[in-house]
């Protein structure tokens, strides 16, 4: 095996290469702070970020938990509301014409513009954060579910008709199952947005969460702490995303090959 | 078994009315193998869907087993051009789909059908593939699964819409030989749609030639060649060629039957 084909095909390389990339980036970052003698309140080096985390790991993990909970609750709520709305849209042209422009309009609003309003309406608690996550997740979930439900191949619909299947059977045994891979695509988009949503909401008015940690540390010029919080946020987003990927592999083993 | 009396079908498209079928009279006997053949757009598939109860006829009447057809019947199965397998179901549970959909079977009844599913899969050479997913099979194997699925409920009538046309030539001949064998064994009435004259001649008792737009019955050709018929090492090549030539003539643009030259014999 040549070195090149080892790098592109082996499993070890598949894990090793991203790690090498990460180490390289960290090294460059570290080097830059030394070579250009950057003040640590402007750009802390990776070591300082690690120290900032190790100084109060319990506190930071707790705040991570707060943000994680908001993200997950909003995300689940978006599924609970979004999927039925998508089904209604697919089911009835009237509902589609009624709701679709509205959905597009709401989606076009930059969500950060609503954040202060949510604080005015719902205060500083978890509610407005969950609502913000719901707002950002809603659209991709509705769109992907609706288009998935419309993608059922004609011959499969005809097959179920020829078997005299009821509408309910057609829905559960065929259309919904067939839409699952596309729904998952929407969920993967939504979960990344969900993390952004919860942080935005925390920026505007919160007393806890990683977004709150970042604004607070910014105010006190504790840049290293902000970096630690940002790192935790991105780890959280990555884990959530890959959690969904894993779930998809477990639930839809057929979808990887046949589409 | 199947009676079509003065059946006509009109579609209302954007470009106006399309007369797909007109004045079709056809009686198919029990255990008969009838093939519908014709150029593209002659309404063969439409006719099959009318018999299946997937489509109500604009005019005329369709009867299966003495009853007017209004919805798809349990004892009639439909096989499509594409395998139409549910990609998340294993081979055996795809075969079981019709049983599951119609429901109402006791556990014991279900178990019997499950045994039958395994028998059918063995019959078409898919033993050992029961737990596989459709995407792991070749096109020919998928269509065999589809054949098993249409046989699971012991249908009295099988409607087959160009079931082998998406397959390569070799698989196609193989499957049509298998279908012949299965029909002789299981005694079902089959209405088959194809583009292939050869397939029609090898498989059918009678071939119904349809004219295009609107589809009418041009001629019904009886095929008196003893079974089982094969193409390779068979003694009836002359007859097959003769009838094929005749059908080819019927289907050709002018529509004039062409007599086979003596020299070909």
Laid out side by side, the sheet with B206-211 consists of B76-79, B157-161, B189-194, B33-38, B206-211, B216-222
Nearest residue in chain A measured CA to CA from B137: A258
In the numeric block, the tokens 């998928």 are attached to B142
In the numeric block, the tokens 């997937």 are attached to B54
Position B263 pLDDT exceeds 70:
no
Position A259 pLDDT exceeds 60:
no
Chain A interface disruption, residue of B45, B69, B75, B86, most A CBs within 10 A = B86
Torsion angle (degrees, nearest 10) of CA A62, A67, A73, A76: -120
Provide the total of helices (H) and of strands (E) in chain B, helices listed first.
Answer: 8, 10
Q: Is B211 helix (H, G, I), strand (E, B) or coil?
A: strand
In the numeric block, the tokens 């949503």 are attached to A197
Nearest residue in chain A measured CA to CA from B146: A159
d(CA B186, CA B155): 9
pLDDT tens digit string along B53-85? 888 888 888 888 888 888 888 889 999 988 999
Question: Is A232 in contact with A64 (CB distance < 8 Å)?
Answer: yes
Torsion angle (degrees, nearest 10) of CA A5, A6, A10, A12: -150
Q: Do A255 and B72 touch (CB under 8 A)?
A: no
Question: Is A63 in contact with A210 (CB distance < 8 Å)?
Answer: yes
User: Residue A41 — pLDDT band, cuts 50, 70, 90?
Assistant: confident
A254: nearest CB among B84, B87, B102: B87
In the numeric block, the tokens 């196609």 are attached to B172
**Higher-confidence residue: A74 or B248?**
A74
Q: Do B136 and A257 touch (CB under 8 A)?
A: yes
Tokens of A247: 């779930």
Q: Does B80 reach chain A within 8 Å, measured CB to CB?
A: yes
H or E element: which one contains A187? Answer: helix A176-204
d(CA B177, CA B171): 10
Q: Does B104 reach chain A within 8 Å, measured CB to CB?
A: no
How far, in Å, are A149, B135, B216, B236 from residue B231 at the CA level?
45, 31, 30, 8
* DSSP secondary structure code for residue B165 in this structure: T
Measure in Å the smallest separation between the Cα of A251 and chain B Cα atoms: 10
pLDDT tens digit string along A132-185? 999 999 999 999 999 999 999 988 999 999 998 888 899 999 999 999 999 999
How far, in Å, are A91, A94, A183, B52, B132 from residue A167 at the CA level?
11, 19, 21, 18, 28
Report the pLDDT value the prediction gives residue B254, as an integer from 0 to 100.
Answer: 45
Question: Is B42 in contact with B213 (CB distance < 8 Å)?
Answer: yes
Laid out side by side, the sheet with B59-64 consists of B16-28, B2-13, B59-64, B67-68
% helix / strand / coil in chain A, to the nearest 5?
85, 0, 15
Q: Does B18 reach chain A within 8 Å, measured CB to CB?
A: no
How far, in Å, are A42, A48, B15, B234 from residue A30 at the CA level?
13, 10, 70, 82
Which residues of chain B make contact with A153, given a CB cutoff of 8 A? Answer: 84
Tokens of B128: 């050992």
B72: nearest CB among A161, A169, A177: A161
Q: Do A155 and B136 touch (CB under 8 A)?
A: no
pTM comes to: 0.80
For residue A143, count CB atoms less than 10 angstroms from its CB and return exposed for 0-12, middle for 13-18, buried for 19 or more: buried
Mean pLDDT of chain A: 90
Report the pLDDT value the prediction gives residue A80, as an integer from 0 to 100.
Answer: 96
pLDDT tens digit string along B10-65? 888 777 788 888 888 888 888 889 999 887 777 888 889 999 988 888 888 888 88
d(CA A118, CA A122): 6
Q: Do B133 and A160 touch (CB under 8 A)?
A: no
Could you please state the CATH topology (level 3) that the domain comprising B2-75+155-264 is classified under. Answer: Rossmann fold (3.40.50)
List residues in chain A touching B: CB distance below 8 A. 153, 155-156, 158-165, 169, 173-174, 177, 252-255, 257-259
B84: nearest CB among A155, A258, A259: A155
Q: Do A164 and B72 touch (CB under 8 A)?
A: yes
Cis amide prior to B214 (ω within 30 degrees) = yes
Alpha-helical runs (H) found in B103-224: 107-123, 139-151, 169-186, 197-203
B102: nearest CB among A153, A161, A164: A164
Which residues of chain B make contact with A156, given a CB cutoff of 8 A? Answer: 84, 86
Mean pLDDT of chain B: 83
Cis amide prior to B109 (ω within 30 degrees) = no
Measure in Å the smallest separation between the Cα of A216 and chain B Cα atoms: 50
Indicate the domain borders of chain B.
Answer: 2-75+155-264, 85-153
Report the pLDDT value the prediction gives residue B3, as an integer from 0 to 100.
Answer: 85
Task: Give the β-pairing of B157-161 and B76-79.
Answer: parallel
Report the pLDDT value the prediction gives residue A237, as an integer from 0 to 100.
Answer: 94
Q: Does B231 reach chain A within 8 Å, measured CB to CB?
A: no
Among the four given CATH numbers 1.10.3720.10, 2.60.120.10, 3.40.50.720, 3.40.50.2300, the one describing domain A40-258:
1.10.3720.10
d(CA A173, CA A88): 18
d(CA B132, CA B211): 42
């Amino acid at each position: 095996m040549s070195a090149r084909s080892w790098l592109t095909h082996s499993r070890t390389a598949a894990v090793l290469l991203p790690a090498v990339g990460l180490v390289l980036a960290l090294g460059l970052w570290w080097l830059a702070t030394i070579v250009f003698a950057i003040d640590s309140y402007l750009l802390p080096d990776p070591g300082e970020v690690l120290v900032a985390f190790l100084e109060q790991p319990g506190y930071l993990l707790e705040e991570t938990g707060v943000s994680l909970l908001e993200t997950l609750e909003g995300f689940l709520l978006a599924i609970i509301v979004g999927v039925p709305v998508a089904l209604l849209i697919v089911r009835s042209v009237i509902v589609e014409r009624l709701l679709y422009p509205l959905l597009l309009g709401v989606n076009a609003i930059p969500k950060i513009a609503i954040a202060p309003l949510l604080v005015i309406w719902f205060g500083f608690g978890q509610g407005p954060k969950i609502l913000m996550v719901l707002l950002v997740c809603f659209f991709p979930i509705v769109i992907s579910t609706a288009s998935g439900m419309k993608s059922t191949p004609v011959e499969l619909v005809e097959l179920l008709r020829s078997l005299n299947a009821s509408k309910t059977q057609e829905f559960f045994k065929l259309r919904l199952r067939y839409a699952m891979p596309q729904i998952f695509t929407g969920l993967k988009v939504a979960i990344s947005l969900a993390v952004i949503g919860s942080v935005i909401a925390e920026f505007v008015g919160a007393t806890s969460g990683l977004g709150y940690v970042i604004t607070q540390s910014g105010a006190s010029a504790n840049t290293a702490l902000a970096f630690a919080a940002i790192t935790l946020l991105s780890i959280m987003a990555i884990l959530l995303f890959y959690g969904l990927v894993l779930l998809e592999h477990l639930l839809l083993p057929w979808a990887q090959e046949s589409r | 078994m199947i009676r079509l009396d003065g059946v006509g079908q009109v579609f209302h498209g954007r470009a106006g009315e399309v007369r797909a079928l007109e004045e079709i009279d056809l009686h198919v006997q029990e255990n008969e193998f009838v093939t519908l053949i014709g150029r593209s757009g002659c309404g063969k598939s439409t006719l099959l869907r009318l018999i299946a109860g997937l489509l109500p006829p604009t005019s005329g009447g369709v009867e299966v087993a003495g009853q007017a057809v209004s919805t798809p019947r349990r004892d009639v199965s439909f096989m499509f051009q594409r395998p139409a397998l549910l990609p998340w179901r294993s081979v055996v549970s795809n075969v079981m789909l019709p049983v599951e959909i119609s429901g109402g079977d006791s556990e014991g009844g279900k178990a019997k059908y499950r045994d039958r599913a395994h028998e059918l899969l063995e019959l078409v050479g898919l033993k050992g593939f029961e737990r596989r997913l459709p995407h792991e099979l070749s096109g020919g194997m998928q269509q065999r699964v589809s054949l098993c699925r249409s046989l699971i409920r012991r249908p009295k009538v099988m409607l087959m819409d160009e079931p082998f046309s998406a397959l390569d030539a070799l698989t196609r001949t193989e499957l049509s030989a298998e279908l012949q064998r299965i029909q002789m064994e299981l005694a079902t009435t089959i209405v088959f749609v194809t583009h292939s004259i050869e397939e029609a001649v090898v498989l059918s008792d009678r071939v119904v030639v349809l004219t295009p737009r609107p589809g009418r019955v041009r001629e019904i050709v009886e095929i008196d060649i003893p079974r089982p018929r094969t193409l390779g090492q068979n003694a009836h090549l002359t007859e097959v060629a003769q009838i094929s030539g005749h059908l080819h003539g019927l289907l050709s643009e002018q529509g004039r039957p062409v007599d086979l030259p003596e020299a070909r014999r």
